[in-house]
Amino acid sequence: MYSQPNNLLHGVKLEQIITDLEVYYGWGYMGTIVKIKCFTDNPSLKSSLKFLRRTPWARTKVENMYLNMLKNRK
């Protein structure tokens, strides 16, 4: 198995990313940054996971938002 010391997303599951973002930002802010219905209309972890697993462009945006959150926390 390869080590990825510079990849902050390595080993972090999508469910954890969404949960951390929701706690840090809230659904409302997440919906303004990444304009997807699963963040704005009756948001839930389950609907977000389902959509993001099937939509690579949206997942990339969410992962970038997570990386920015990690930078801001430091």
- The predicted-structure confidence for 22-48, as pLDDT tens digits, reads as follows 999 999 999 999 999 999 999 999 999
Residue 8, in any domain of the structure:
no
Residue 20, in any domain of the structure:
yes
User: Which domain range does residue 25 map to?
Assistant: 14-73
Residue 9, in any domain of the structure:
no
We report the CATH number of the domain holding residue 46 as 1.10.720.30
Domains: count for the chain: 1
Residue 6, in any domain of the structure:
no
Q: Is the pTM of this model over 0.85?
A: yes
Residue 69, in any domain of the structure:
yes
Residue 1, in any domain of the structure:
no
- Residue holding tokens 């599951």? 13
